[in-house]
Amino acid sequence: MKYLILLPVIALALLFNSCSSKDEAKEMSSISKSSVEKVTAKLIKKYGDQSKVRIEKGVSQVAMFWTEKDGSSSDFEKYCEDNFVAKNEDLDLLFKKLQSNFEVLYGHYNKITLDLNRALHLDGDPIIAIDEQFGAYSPFAHLVEDFFNNKIAFNVLLNFPHYSLKEKTELGEKWSRKEWAFARVGDIFTSRVPAEISQNISDALTKAGTYIAEYNIFAGNLVDEKNATYFPKDMKLLTHWNLRDEIKSQYANADGLVRQKMIYQVMNRIIDQTIPSVVINSDKFQWDPFANKVFDNGKEVRASAEPNNRYKTLLSCFNAQRQADSYSPIYPTYIDRKFEEEFEIPIDKIEALFTELVSSGTAKKVGDLIKSRLGRDLQPWDIWYDGFKARSSMNQDLLTEQTQKKFPNPAAFQSDISTMLKNVGFDNEKSNFIASKIDVDPARGSGHAWGADMKSENAHLRTRIGKAGMNYKGYNIAVHEMGHNVEQTITLQYMDNWFMRGVPNTAFTETWAFIFQSRDLMLLGHKNNDENVKYMKALDNFWSAYEIMGVALLDQSVWKWLYEHKNATDDQLKKQVIRMAKEVWNKYYAPVFGVKDQSILAIYSHMIENPLYLSAYPLGHLIEYQIEQKLDGKNLADEMVRMLTQGKMIPEIWMKGAVGDGISVKASINAAEEALKYVK
């Protein structure tokens, strides 16, 4: 499954939604209230009440970011008087030019970032220092600063002011397409971040991404107390994705339990940082993760533990993001920027949604069903139980044999995209066009989907392919990424205006990735003849949401704690993450699993390299199920295009247009309860 959607989107969120320390922020607004009132009254008198709201909002937002270096109060007043656009036809012309120019800027900056990260993201030569330096460079870093200095940002704020989430919620259902597009222009400049701080953020995220991308465990070198191995010698598993997926794949194997237990112990060693440094991304030594002993050709050797690098990396990301706070008067913390501005769903509402599902009695019922299906007590790693999917009863080795033969290299997967799209209902023209806008590249890490930001460029599907070809787990992830790319292509290429491109937030692109991923076997030619297929899907969706909601709640709690303990050390952070992981487990999972004090929810790599992204997954599962119900009996392709071309409205309004209701856990809970009557 995919954690990274678009680094450029994240970079832009950082640049346009962030800023730094309070001492540095003293240079912010130099404009008095009386000056704002004076120029506002003057403009309203000149242009009338029909422009009143836009004048009031625009002038106040220009004043919010106007500093002494931008000019005096009289300069501010003159700027507003000279640059406010009142006539509709003139405003339309300004919008048209902004749309064209920002597509050029974002599109080329996106391509530069994509190309400069090739060495870090694609399989190939070893990474050296210069690769990380180029990868950390952000071509966006000076854009905001430059656009305030040359006053383009002020022109945008004055004529296309920013609307808060509350305002969008209250007004948005009555807005026209043009009004929505105008509002999205107003979302560009919500902070005035210095270039140095933007670069620091890019630096921290790039280093975090590299740390995770290189965090491989050589499973063939794992041994037990009898020096027995259980995995192929050349098996290399990236944390956490491949480790988790290996646990999932073992449910179909008779001896899978011992392998699951071993991988689970590896995960625990990563979380508490007792993992020996020498076994990370290295096949030189054998490692017994239970006794935590390292061997060199059967002889035990001394090996020191990883020195809290996991938590040092997380702390570096927090400290970089926090630098941005005081330059963002509208969204003064990264938590605000993530939920209020990027997700456009308040964190309190997200917490309430997640808590409603994970604390429901349905979770215990589904857990009991899994227990009976397994014929044993639940173990903590059964949060990843995969038995409701069609593939769970199929031999993974045979599936891998099929996918390796079919997809020996990236070019083979790319050549099949058009056919796969036809198989889910796209006509020839759309299938061929969308496929032509997606390039497939061999990934160094788990892979990701990286969209284009201008119509002349292609989206990129980065996926891991071994020397023998694409194994089934890799194929499953690649289909997930393809779902992202199809969404990214439709919401750019088929959108009526550039400012409305994309989806409401990352949860929605995860939704379409999940929808494609759930059809991976169908795309391989396997039919699911199970009469309970719809009930199995309901249970799978519920259990997937149940698992990842706890992880997301932990992620949110960690960031709240960091803001309350801004001077925390990496060791303090490690202890706190483990403590909170156990608290979440004990509250929502121990009653189902019958096992307390597990820290496994802290294994997710997103927590380290992709701050506060994790909430997108459970939201995606909820949205996915609501959309799947809407898709029932309809052509997937037609419905996908209809829903996606709504564009970047706020989530609640988008969902009402797509399925007739807002985001809710009730559909997933009710469907799981119904399924429990039929699935044994």
For residue range 279-316, what is the model confidence (pLDDT) as tens digits?
999 999 999 999 999 999 999 999 999 999 999 999 99
Banded model confidence at residue 446, pLDDT cuts 50, 70, 90: low
| Predicted pLDDT at 12 | 35
From residue 596, how far is each of 273, 584, 599, 603 by CA, in Å? 20, 10, 9, 17
Kind of pairing, strands 299-301 and 293-296? antiparallel
Q: What is the mean pLDDT of residues 126-134?
A: 88
pTM score, two decimals? 0.86
Kind of pairing, strands 438-442 and 459-463? parallel
| Predicted pLDDT at 501 | 97
Q: What is the mean pLDDT of residues 68-74?
A: 94
Give dist(CA 576, CA 587) in Å, integer. Answer: 16
Given a cut of 50, whether residue 1 has pLDDT beyond it is no
Given a cut of 80, whether residue 176 has pLDDT beyond it is yes
Q: Which of 249-258, 375-384, 466-475 has the highest mean pLDDT?
A: 375-384
Stronger pLDDT, 25 or 354, i.e. the higher one = 354
Banded model confidence at residue 556, pLDDT cuts 50, 70, 90: very high
Question: pLDDT by residue (tens digit) across 352-401?
Answer: 999 999 999 999 999 999 999 999 999 999 999 999 986 666 778 899 99
Given a cut of 90, whether residue 322 has pLDDT beyond it is yes
Given a cut of 80, whether residue 26 has pLDDT beyond it is no
Given a cut of 70, whether residue 23 has pLDDT beyond it is no
> For 82-105, b where at least 16 C-beta lie within 10 A, e where not — what string?
eebbeeeeebeebbeebbeebbeb
| Predicted pLDDT at 8 | 35
Question: pLDDT by residue (tens digit) across 602-615?
Answer: 999 999 999 999 99
Given a cut of 80, whether residue 172 has pLDDT beyond it is yes
Q: What is the mean pLDDT of residues 551-577?
A: 98
Question: pLDDT by residue (tens digit) across 408-438?
Answer: 999 999 999 999 999 999 999 999 999 999 9
Question: Which of 325-329, 446-450, 471-475 comes out lowest in average pLDDT?
Answer: 446-450
Given a cut of 60, whether residue 10 has pLDDT beyond it is no
Give dist(CA 406, CA 427) in Å, integer. Answer: 23
Question: Which of 380-394, 623-637, 651-665 comes out lowest in average pLDDT?
Answer: 380-394
Q: Single out the residue of 155, 57, 51, 63 nearest to residue 101, CA to CA.
A: 155
Q: What is the mean pLDDT of residues 51-73?
A: 95
Give dist(CA 365, CA 354) in Å, integer. Answer: 18
Given a cut of 70, whether residue 183 has pLDDT beyond it is yes
| Predicted pLDDT at 391 | 67
> For the chain, how long is the longest CA-to-CA vector?
87
Q: What is the mean pLDDT of residues 88-114?
A: 95
Report the percentage of the chain scoring pLDDT > 70.
95
Give the 3-state secondary structure of residue 324: coil
Sign of the C-alpha dihedral computed for residues 402, 407, 413 and 415 taken in this order: negative
Q: Two tokens at 285?
A: 């030594």
Q: Fill in the DSSP letter of residue 17.
A: H
| Predicted pLDDT at 259 | 97
Q: What is the mean pLDDT of residues 162-169?
A: 96
> For 360-377, b where at least 16 C-beta lie within 10 A, e where not — what string?
bebbeebbebbbeeeeee
Given a cut of 80, whether residue 256 has pLDDT beyond it is yes
Mean pLDDT of the chain: 92
Give the 3-state secondary structure of residue 561: helix
Element (H, E) at 510: helix 506-517
| Predicted pLDDT at 16 | 35
Length of the chain in residues, anyone?
680
Bond from prior residue into 606 cis (ω within 30 degrees of 0): no
Banded model confidence at residue 28, pLDDT cuts 50, 70, 90: low
Given a cut of 60, whether residue 478 has pLDDT beyond it is yes
Give dist(CA 158, CA 549) in Å, integer. Answer: 40
Question: pLDDT by residue (tens digit) across 235-244?
Answer: 999 999 999 9
Report the percentage of the chain scoring pLDDT > 90.
82
Banded model confidence at residue 6, pLDDT cuts 50, 70, 90: very low
| Predicted pLDDT at 143 | 86
Long-range Cβ contact pairs of 556-565 (< 8 A, separation 24 or more): 556/335, 556/347, 556/350, 556/351, 556/612, 556/615, 557/584, 558/314, 558/607, 559/318, 559/334, 559/335, 559/611, 559/612, 560/335, 562/315, 562/318, 563/322, 563/333, 563/335
| Predicted pLDDT at 577 | 98
Given a cut of 50, whether residue 7 has pLDDT beyond it is no
Q: Two tokens at 630?
A: 């809407």
Q: 């730094």: which residue's tokens? A: 20
Q: Two tokens at 539?
A: 């249970």
Banded model confidence at residue 531, pLDDT cuts 50, 70, 90: confident
| Predicted pLDDT at 309 | 98
| Predicted pLDDT at 20 | 35
Sheet containing 299-301: which strands, arranged edge to edge? Answer: 286-288, 293-296, 299-301
Q: What is the mean pLDDT of residues 644-659?
A: 96
Other CB atoms closer than 10 Å to residue 349's CB: what's the count? 13
